[in-house]
Structures are given as C-alpha cells and as structure tokens.
Structure 1
Amino acid sequence: MPAPLAEILDDFEAVSGQDKLQLLLEMSRELPALPAEMEQQAMEPVPECQSPLFLSVDASDPGAVRLFFSAPPEAPTTRGFASILHQGLDGQPADAILAVPDDFYVRLGLADVVSPLRLRGISAMLTRVKRRIRESR
C-alpha cells in the first residue's frame, strides 16, 4: 500500500461515525482542479458513480503515474472519493497502484454512513485507474 494512501486510511480508522463523513467532506474540498490544458470531454466517465465523475490516467512514466479527476462541487461524496485516490495514489509508481487491494476502501469504515451504491463508485474509480495503467504497458 503506498504510504500516502495508508496514511489516509489511518486517518479514517482514527475517527468513528459521523466524523468519518466529515473527514470525507473535508477531503472533497481538497480535490485539485484540472490543469488548464485538460478538457473534461477527453476524460473517461465513471458511470458507476452516483454523480458525474471523469478521470484521466497518465502512466507514461511508470515510476510516477499521474491521476486527474473531475467532479462537480455539488457532489461532495464523489469528490471525496476522488480526492482520496488522488492524494493517496497520484505520483506513485504503477506497480504500487496495481498492488492496492481492490477493496481497500472497506478500511475507510464508511459503510455505516455512505450507501453501498456510493461505495461502488470508489471501487469503479480504482478499477479504471488500474485498467488504464495495464493498458499503457
């Protein structure tokens, strides 16, 4: 597990109940804007998410994969999930990202405060990131 992602998981494990949801909402505000030259239309949609989410993976340097996410401000849960992946995996080596367990998000402990349908969104995001990395090899 990449160290930044492990640290995020530790943060979520350190709080309980509604504090987990508050932490997710705080993370949603930390999702960086797309670079000016990147257009959302060129990004891959993730229809499993409850709100519109688009992602792009630049794995041209397998030693430092770049991740980009776009989600509207009125979708804080989706933005929070994207921010977790961005903060935890952006700039990490491809092999480290591919080694992240597909169900890592269970450790976030959000099952009691977020619907299973919403949790499916973070799983779908990670699946697409991994697929794009594999396709770039």
Structure 2
Amino acid sequence: MSDPVLPASLAEIRDDFLELPESERLQLLLEFSQELPPVPAEYEGHPELYERVAECQSPVFIVIDVDDDDVVAMHATAPPEAPTTRGFASILAQGITGLTSDEVLAIPADFPQSIGLTRVVSPLRISGMTGMLMRAKRQVQAKRHD
C-alpha cells in the first residue's frame, strides 16, 4: 500500500506492523527498542544539545542533524526500562534518518496512529510518539539549509 506522502522507510515499518496479528505487534515494537541506534560520539555527554520530549513520561531526548546536502539524521535516547517509548524512538530514528528535510516535513502527523498499535499500547504512549515526531519536524524546519 503506497502512500504518496509517507517516505518508503516509514511505510515499510508501518507495513511490517500491519502484517502482523495485533497480538504480535508489541513484540515487534520491543525488537525495535533493542535496535535504537547509538548516538554519535559528538553528542555523548552533552545533554544540552538534545531536546526533551515532554509528552513522554520517560526521559526521551532527540536531536536532529541536517547536513549540507539536506539529508536528515535523527538521534534519540530513551531508557532501556521504557521499551515501548524506546521502540517508538527507534522507529522514528531509523525511519527518518536518510530522508531529505522536505520528506520529513511531509510525514503525516498521524503516522504514530497508522502503525496498528493504538489498541496494544496506551494513548499516552502514542501521544509520546506524536510528540517525538512533531519535535523532529520542528528541528528539521529550524536546521534545514534553505
């Protein structure tokens, strides 16, 4: 199912979730939580460079880089003891990294609701993922090289 606005990287992740029975989707989210890419060395020990995602109960921080070629990289930190939130951060970090700023800004705001988890995780967690996405988009807007 191709979506004209949703980048292929995120569409593929969404389809992976939707192909699974609802009962198995949480397991896939937990697998994503174990695959959260490590932050680059230049951000290690520099929490002031990150933005806290207030919508998340867990301490989640994100930072966006936009290089001179307009390619976006998303970095996130989330505690291992918050696997759901960490899974959402991982989905976004993996799905956004490598896109152009225009592609990131075009990601539909309801992407977190589209991946088939609204009945297996709390609405608060879905709104946390929405908060991560909105902050990522705002940082892209601020850092893009127009």
TM-score with structure 2 length normalisation? 0.89
Query: Aligned letter for 1:28?
Result: S
3-state SS, counterpart of residue 109 of structure 1: coil
Pick the aligned partner of 1:6 from 5, 8, 11: 11
Counterparts of residues 29-108 of structure 1 (less than 5 Å): 29-38=34-43, 39-61=46-68, 63-108=70-115
3-state SS, counterpart of residue 88 of structure 1: helix
3-state SS, counterpart of residue 131 of structure 1: helix
Instruction: Provide the C-alpha distance between the structure 2 equivalents of 1:32 and 1:63, rounded to a whole number of angstroms.
Output: 21
Structure 1 runs (4+) deviating above 3 angstroms are: none
3-state SS, counterpart of residue 32 of structure 2: helix
**1:17 lines up with 2:22 in the alignment:** yes
Instruction: Provide the C-alpha distance between the structure 2 equivalents of 1:62 and 1:28, rounded to a whole number of angstroms.
Output: 29
Pick the aligned partner of 2:122 from 92, 112, 115: 115
Task: Give the share of equivalent positions with the same residue, in percent.
Answer: 53
Instruction: Provide the C-alpha distance between the structure 1 equivalents of 2:109 and 2:140, rounded to a whole number of angstroms.
Output: 14
Deviation, structure 1 residue 41 = 3.4
TM-score with structure 1 length normalisation? 0.94
Structure 1: segments with no counterpart, 5+ residues: none
Instruction: Give CA deviations for 1:88-126 in whole Å, capped at 9, x if unaligned.
Output: 111110000111100012121111110000100110001
| Residues 54, 70 of structure 1: 8 Å contact kept | yes
Instruction: Provide the C-alpha distance between the structure 2 equivalents of 1:63 and 1:2, rounded to a whole number of angstroms.
Output: 15
Instruction: Provide the C-alpha distance between the structure 2 equivalents of 1:59 and 1:35, rounded to a whole number of angstroms.
Output: 14
RMSD: 1.2
Q: What is the number of residues matched between the two proteins?
A: 137
Structure 2: segments with no counterpart, 5+ residues: 1-5
| Residues 40, 70 of structure 1: 8 Å contact kept | no
